[in-house]
Amino acid sequence: MSTLPLEYATEARDTYIRSARARTVVLHQLNDVRRDPAALASSGVTTEEVQAAFETVWKVSAFYESKLWLEANEERKANDRIVEPLRRAVSGDASPVAPLPDEEDD
């Protein structure tokens, strides 16, 4: 069983699924080119252009995946700022709860 909170595990799974789908589309397109190289030649597109397009889409997909992971992690941290004081209050911890940074007076 994972030690990740359910919400974070769900975000991670969704991120992985979106990224995997994008990469699968790219791989299918590359396989189409491999199956019918004559169509590629008749279109006037070079194999170098196909390779460059493939690498570009792969990099964009990887970038998208990393951004989603970063956003999911930031959201988890923001949720922890709210949930942790609630957990302490429910558990009966009498220690004072510090105000959130946005609520502090300057």
Q: Does pTM surpass 0.85?
A: no
Alpha-carbon distance of 86 to 101, in angstroms, equals 16
Residue 67: how many other CB atoms lie within 10 Å? 11
Which stretches of the chain score pLDDT less than 70?
A: 1-6, 8-9, 12, 94-106
Tokens matching residue 10:
């769900």
Tokens matching residue 44:
């006037």
Tokens matching residue 2:
């994972």
Alpha-carbon distance of 54 to 34, in angstroms, equals 13
Pick the closest to residue 26 from 63, 59, 58 (CA basis): 58
